[in-house]
């Protein structure tokens, strides 16, 4: 077991159960104002659940299986009664599922029903991951007084809009999620996971993209079609954006994120909104992907939610707790972004070098990008193959440029927001710029830390592409090197740019283009890292 695994395992161990005798009351009917009934299962210790604090989870993924075994049972064994409700249109609940759109009204009706039940005590905690966290934000500004805390995990208040960022359209995660929700109730769906994953991976290459759902599922998916049809500014998405509710939350919130989670930027935005509004909130971010399972949500429900539900104070800790990768240690801070880290540009240089000193001479490096053979994603923000991986094969490609520092003679620690300014020109007016930050070890292997992409129109004119990379916390060790990759795609993490200017949903023509990256006094291309100042920050 390596050091990181040991640290994380020790951190995430559950306390011993209070009881192993848990019973499940199935298919409780929860009426909605429009007459639709949603089904819920209640988990509780046998003969002793009435009056215990309630943990509420509202899910589109059913009420049993992994959710029951990994969340409901552990909580019911350790002081909660747990209610898992299937959202509208799924797993026996009435109505038709329209993802994200019905969760405010249905959520508020569910809360009203729960507090009237004879088994309910006097307190409730909202818990859940991803969609199960989004539904918390949908009702967060109008919670009944019985709700004492919220614990959203790898999620944010405007979930779908993360896929539609103006600077780069996500493809893999919304497509895979749309497929998952379309097939998860089919007979033997669990046994067919592997074959469906292969089918989905093939389908995502379909042109035009708006036919890919049929190739993967056998029929059209409304959610996938909506993702392709409407951009982030379209009024169609107004009902699924609950970011304006965040500052109005009055209960304590404990947000849990992952450095390789697609929703991290939005989750940090939500946390900052809580801090600026003076709301009680804390943040935990670990080296996790979106789909990486661990005990963090259960632990936080027990260590943060349960004390609040009992009218007690949880054990005191810093407002922000981050896992600093590279150092492989948990560190405490007072805020996000933390104080004591200053933006420092690392400039692209001739001979593929990278330095804190500006380049003395102007030059350009070129590569050819072909969307018919797109630059692949390698780790990073992905459900199935994400996280920190060896980038050796990716960096050997002719369509990927790399710029690397000399060997570091001291540790360099970065915590906060990461960005890049890349002076760029393409042979075509429409092109993408993808930037990735990596750590190169003494063995020469390069591992990804964070990345981001921006889409350009007018790319045939030389201009500075501003790229927002994912936030991070990382320590580059002495003897290592810092590397920056520049390319024009990361497929299927991002939809490939066809180069024609056609809508990506309907484009069928793919054009290759020669791309150029400029650097030097007149074109100071650089990645900007939040580097720890001499004074430092956080607990070493």
d(CA 220, CA 67): 27
Residue owning tokens 């001979």: 351
Average pLDDT, the chain: 94
Assign 275 a pLDDT band (cuts: 50, 70, 90).
very high
Question: Does residue 6 register a pLDDT over 50?
Answer: no
d(CA 407, CA 442): 9
The C-alpha angle with vertex 175 and arms to 173 and 181, in degrees rounded to 5, equals 100
Cis peptide before 337 (omega within 30 of 0): yes
Residue owning tokens 């469906």: 196
Q: Give the three-class secondary structure for 302.
A: helix
Percent of the chain with pLDDT over 70: 97
Question: Does residue 240 register a pLDDT over 70?
Answer: yes
Q: Which range among 39-43, 168-172, 453-457, 518-522 shows the weakest confidence by mean pLDDT?
A: 168-172
306, 121 Cβ separation under 8 angstroms: no
pLDDT, tens digit (0-9, with 9 covering 90-100), for 75-121: 999 999 999 999 999 999 999 999 999 999 999 999 999 999 999 99
State mean pLDDT over 499-513: 96
d(CA 465, CA 523): 11
Topology annotation, domain 3-166+231-333? Rossmann fold (3.40.50)
Residue owning tokens 């949903």: 505
Question: In angstroms, how far is CA 370 from the centroid of its own chain?
Answer: 28
Question: Does residue 540 register a pLDDT over 60?
Answer: no
Rg (CA), the chain: 24
* pLDDT score recorded for residue 11: 61
125, 301 Cβ separation under 8 angstroms: yes
Helices and strands (H, E) in the chain, number of each type: 13, 23
d(CA 506, CA 502): 7
Query: What is the residue extent of each domain of the chain?
Result: 3-166+231-333, 167-230, 341-531
d(CA 539, CA 478): 20
Q: Which range among 104-118, 440-454, 522-536 shows the weakest confidence by mean pLDDT?
A: 522-536
* pLDDT score recorded for residue 320: 98
pLDDT, tens digit (0-9, with 9 covering 90-100), for 365-424: 999 999 999 999 999 998 878 999 999 999 999 999 999 999 999 999 999 999 999 999
Question: Does residue 5 register a pLDDT over 80?
Answer: no
Cβ contacts of residue 513 below 8 Å, gap of 6+?
A: 368, 369, 426, 427, 428, 431, 499
The C-alpha angle with vertex 171 and arms to 165 and 174, in degrees rounded to 5, equals 90
Residue owning tokens 């038709």: 96
* pLDDT score recorded for residue 536: 47
Lookup: tokens for 375? 């630059």
* pLDDT score recorded for residue 218: 97
State mean pLDDT over 493-498: 96
Question: In angstroms, how far is CA 279 from the centroid of its own chain?
Answer: 23
pLDDT, tens digit (0-9, with 9 covering 90-100), for 286-339: 999 999 888 999 999 999 999 999 999 999 999 999 999 999 999 999 999 999
Question: In angstroms, how far is CA 486 from the centroid of its own chain?
Answer: 22
Give CA separation, 156 vs 248, 262, 286, 325, 538, in Å. Answer: 15, 10, 16, 23, 25
Q: Is residue 518 within a helix (H) or strand (E), and if so which, with residue range?
A: strand 513-519
218, 181 Cβ separation under 8 angstroms: no
Assign 165 a pLDDT band (cuts: 50, 70, 90).
confident
Residue 72: left (phi > 0), alpha (psi -120 to 50), or beta?
alpha
301, 284 Cβ separation under 8 angstroms: no
Question: Does residue 507 register a pLDDT over 90?
Answer: yes
380, 387 Cβ separation under 8 angstroms: yes
Instruction: Report the 10 Å Cβ neighbour count for 534.
Output: 6
Q: Which of 434, 428, 433 is nearest to 499 (CA)?
A: 428
Assign 535 a pLDDT band (cuts: 50, 70, 90).
very low
Instruction: Report the 10 Å Cβ neighbour count for 499.
Output: 24
* pLDDT score recorded for residue 8: 54
State mean pLDDT over 161-169: 88
Q: Which of 25, 19, 105 is nearest to 58 (CA)?
A: 105
The hierarchical CATH code for the domain 341-531 is: 2.60.120.260
520, 362 Cβ separation under 8 angstroms: yes
Helices (H), 396-489: none
**pTM, entire model:** 0.95
State mean pLDDT over 259-276: 98
* pLDDT score recorded for residue 314: 96
d(CA 45, CA 47): 6
Reported residue count of the chain is 540
* pLDDT score recorded for residue 277: 97
398, 190 Cβ separation under 8 angstroms: no
State mean pLDDT over 211-216: 98
What does DSSP say about strands 124-129 and 147-153: parallel, antiparallel, or unpaired?
parallel
Question: Does residue 532 register a pLDDT over 80?
Answer: yes
* pLDDT score recorded for residue 216: 97
Question: Does residue 534 register a pLDDT over 80?
Answer: no
* pLDDT score recorded for residue 369: 98
E strands, 350-400, are 353-355, 363-369
Supply the angle between the helices 131-139 and 103-114 in degrees, to the nearest 10: 80
346, 515 Cβ separation under 8 angstroms: no
The C-alpha angle with vertex 205 and arms to 199 and 207, in degrees rounded to 5, equals 120
75, 55 Cβ separation under 8 angstroms: yes
């Amino acid at each position: 077991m390596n050091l990181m695994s040991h640290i994380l395992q020790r951190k995430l161990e559950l306390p011993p159960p209070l009881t192993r005798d848990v019973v499940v009351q199935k298919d409780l009917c929860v009426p909605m104002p429009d007459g639709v009934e949603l089904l819920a299962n209640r988990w509780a210790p046998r003969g002793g659940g009435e009056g215990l604090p309630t943990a509420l989870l509202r899910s589109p993924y059913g009420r049993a299986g992994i959710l029951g075994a990994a969340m409901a049972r552990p909580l019911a064994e350790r002081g909660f009664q747990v209610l898992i409700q299937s959202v509208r249109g799924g797993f026996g609940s009435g109505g038709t599922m329209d993802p994200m759109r019905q969760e405010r009204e249905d959520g508020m009706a569910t809360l009203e029903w729960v507090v009237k039940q004879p088994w309910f005590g006097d307190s409730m905690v909202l818990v859940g991951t991803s969609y199960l966290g989004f539904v918390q934000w949908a009702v967060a500004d109008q919670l009944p007084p019985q709700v004492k805390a919220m614990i959203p995990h790898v999620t944010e208040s405007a979930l779908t809009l993360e896929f539609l960022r103006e600077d780069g359209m996500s493809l893999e995660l919304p497509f895979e999620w749309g497929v998952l929700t379309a097939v998860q109730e089919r007979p033997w769906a669990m046994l067919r996971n592997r074959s469906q994953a292969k089918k989905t991976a093939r389908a995502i290459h379909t042109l035009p993209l708006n036919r890919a759902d049929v190739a993967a599922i056998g029929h059209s998916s409304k959610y996938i079609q909506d993702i392709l049809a409407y951009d982030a500014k379209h009024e169609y998405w107004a009902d699924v954006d609950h970011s304006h509710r965040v500052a109005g939350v009055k209960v304590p919130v404990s947000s849990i994120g992952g450095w390789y989670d697609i929703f991290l930027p939005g989750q940090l935005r939500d946390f900052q909104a809580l801090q600026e509004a003076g709301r009680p909130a804390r943040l935990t971010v670990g080296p996790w992907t979106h789909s990486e399972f661990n005990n963090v949500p259960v632990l936080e429900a027990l260590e943060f939610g349960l004390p609040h539900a009992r009218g007690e104070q949880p054990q005191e800790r810093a407002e922000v707790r981050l896992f600093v990768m590279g150092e492989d240690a948990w560190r405490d801070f007072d805020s996000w972004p933390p104080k004591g880290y200053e933006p420092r540009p690392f400039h692209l240089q001739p001979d593929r070098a990278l330095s804190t000193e500006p380049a003395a001479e102007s030059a350009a490096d070129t590569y050819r990008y072909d969307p018919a053979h797109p630059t692949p994603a390698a780790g990073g923000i992905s459900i199935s193959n994400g996280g920190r991986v060896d980038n050796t094969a990716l960096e050997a490609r002719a369509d990927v440029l790399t710029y690397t520092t000399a060997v570091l003679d001291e540790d360099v620690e970065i915590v906060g927001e990461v960005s890049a300014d890349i002076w760029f020109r393409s042979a075509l007016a429409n092109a993408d710029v993808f930037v990735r930050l990596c750590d190169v070890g003494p063995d020469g292997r390069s591992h990804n830390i964070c990345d981001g992409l921006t889409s350009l129109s007018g790319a045939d004119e030389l201009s500075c592409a501003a790229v927002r990379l994912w936030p991070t916390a990382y320590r580059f060790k002495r003897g290592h090197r810092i590397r920056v990759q520049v390319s024009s795609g990361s497929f299927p993490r991002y939809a490939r740019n066809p180069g024609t200017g056609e809508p990506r949903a309907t484009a069928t023509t793919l054009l290759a283009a020669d791309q150029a990256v400029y650097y030097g006094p007149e074109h100071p291309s650089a990645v900007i890292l939040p580097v720890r100042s001499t004074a430092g920050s956080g607990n070493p």
